[in-house]
Amino acid sequence: MSVSERPIERPRYSCMLGGVLATAGALPKTVPIVHGAQGCGGSLAQAAMLGGCYGTGYAGNAAVPSTNIGESEVIFGGETRLREELESVFDVMKGDLFIVTTACMTDIIGDDAKAVIDSLQPLPKPVIFLEAGGFKGNSYYGYGRLIEELFLQYIPRAKKKRADLVNLLGLVPAYDPFFRGDLEEISRLLQQLGLTVNTLVTAGQSHADLLAAGEASLNIVLSRLYGVDAAATIKESHGIDYTVTDLPVGAVATEAFLREIAEKLGIDKALVDRVIKREVTSYYNYVDRATDIIADTDFQNYAVVIANGTEAIPYAKYLDNEIGWIPTHVFVTDDLDEDQQQVIRSAFDAVPFETSPELVFETDTFKIQQYIEQNTPQFLADEYYPTISPAFVLGSTIERRLAEVLSGPFLPISFPVYNRIILTRGYAGFRGGLTLLEDLISAQLAPR
């Protein structure tokens, strides 16, 4: 069910431009340039910091140049200011790719930014342009649109595909706080199947990798919602087939994921079996180590998962299918339309939960707590009712209060997450599953 739509406080995403800037800032040697009002770039840099202290990187976040237009540009048009800014940026900033975006104000007044860019030919380096007025959508939408334009305007259309090359899409820098660790783990696994993997947005990716992305034979979208439209566009423009899967978290999900991809690409089954056997053996070797503390600490928990449409179900599935917890509620916190909610419902229904949690679409932090309090027997009467607390809360940093209400440990895993820095850490794949296990146990042990 959907309890409410747009939250007016503590939002769990920013605007389209926010997604574009966070993504552009993750691309190798890329300089985003904002043609917008004073405040857009800076505020969105702060917003992205809520993605595990995302940071500036090459020329993202706090380093993004902006035209900082004022009232005069709003009235008379900001094209002259944009030209001046572009000339200055090309002069002083080194980058292999420039991404020029408009923002709300310049989209409303209708500045023809594309014409300004075109008038500056020859351009010193490749320039991508996209209209990114924040009112067009949220940061997840911005990610998808930038990926689309990256392919349409920058990545060459290769007729000949490389059977061993795949691209990973769907994880949004900063707004999926573990995007780097997750993508790197998925890459590591796919590489063992003999594949070359472009993540586009992790350390070590180069422009050679980006430019080769058009030769890929498959785009793997690790989200049921985000990057899917982009993948469809790329299929049309570049002839790259795509597959949409859940983000695999833990041994069970990851084994299924690898088999699914291998089958799609026609990879030798014996190789797949060997890789999976090696990974699974290693995985349970570590799990084995953890069984002592698990047994000692009465580790089986009720849990509430609060995350975006990409992460919520994979985490709940991991808790239920892999470590035997009982997730009672899964809150999907994005602002989704009916079709998108249906996509999530279908993915949710396909999970073989031992005890099926309740799936709720809700973005408002207070209403999430209210929902649990008003729909859980233990909060309705003093005794003779089964209780779910102590319940473990896997949510964003702003779920701390809910964790107190449920008297359980708390692990911040979804945007906004600003009480931990996230660099290499990820929860996807085999290693990510182990990391998640470590973090869950550590959260439980932390009060010791």
Partner 1 sequence: MAEKEIKQIAIYGKGGIGKSTTTSNLSAALSDMGYKVMQFGCDPKADSTNTLRDGTYIPTILELLRDNGKVDAHDAIFEGYNGIYCVEAGGPAPGVGCAGRGIITAVQLLKQQKIFEELELDYVIYDVLGDVVCGGFAVPIREGIAQHVFTVSSSDFMAIYAANNLFKGIQKYSNAGGALLGGVIANSVAPDSGYQRSIVDDFVSRTKTKVMQYVPRSLTVTQSELSGKTTIEAAPDSAQAKVYRELAKRVDEHTESKTPNPLTQQELRDWAAEWSDQILAIESGEVTSVAAAI
Nearer to partner 1, 83 or 161 (CB): 83
Distance in Å from the first CA to the final CA of the chain: 38
Helix, strand or coil for residue 53?
A: coil
Residue (81 or 329) nearer to partner 1, CB: 81
The Cα–Cα gap between 47 and 371 comes to: 27
Cβ closer to partner 1: 55 or 77? Answer: 77
Q: Does 298 bind partner 1 (CB under 8 A)?
A: no
73 binds partner 1 (CB under 8 A): yes
Closer Cβ to partner 1, 72 or 119, answer by number: 72
Q: For residue 115, state whether it binds partner 1 (rule: CB under 8 A).
A: no
Of the pair 69, 267, the CB lying nearest partner 1 is at: 69
Does residue number 72 form part of the binding site for partner 1 (CB under 8 A)?
Answer: yes
CA distance 109 to 119: 20
Please pick, from the candidates 85, 111, 184, 335, the single residue that binds partner 1 as defined by CB under 8 A: 111
The rounded distance, in Å, linking the Cα atoms of 107 and 82 is 13
**Of 3, 53, 62, 74, the one binding partner 1 by CB under 8 A:** 74
Binding of partner 1 by 77 (CB under 8 A): yes
Q: With respect to partner 1, which residue has the nearer C-beta, 7 or 77?
A: 77
Which of 108, 203, 271, 446 contacts partner 1 by CB under 8 A?
Answer: 108
CA distances from 407 to 204, 438, 444 (A): 42, 20, 12
Binding part of the chain for partner 1, among 6-14, 106-114, 312-320, 379-387 by CB under 8 A, reads: 106-114
Nearest Cα to Cα of residue 370 among 396, 405, 332: 405
Of 1, 6, 92, 110, which lies in the binding site for partner 1, with binding defined by CB under 8 A?
110
Decide whether 74 or 211 has the Cβ nearer to partner 1. 74
Residue 410 burial by Cβ neighbours in a 10 Å radius (0-12, 13-18, 19+): buried
CA distances from 315 to 12, 253, 306, 310, 351 (A): 17, 10, 9, 10, 11
Q: Is 71 in the site for partner 1 (CB under 8 A)?
A: yes
Among 3, 62, 63, 109, binds partner 1 (CB under 8 A): 109
Structure tokens at 134: 């924040």
Using the rule CB under 8 A, is 76 a contact of partner 1? yes
279 binds partner 1 (CB under 8 A): no
318 with 250: CB under 8 angstroms? yes
Burial class (CB within 10 angstroms; exposed 0-12, middle 13-18, buried 19+) of 229: middle
Binding footprint of partner 1 on the chain (CB under 8 A): 71-79, 108-111
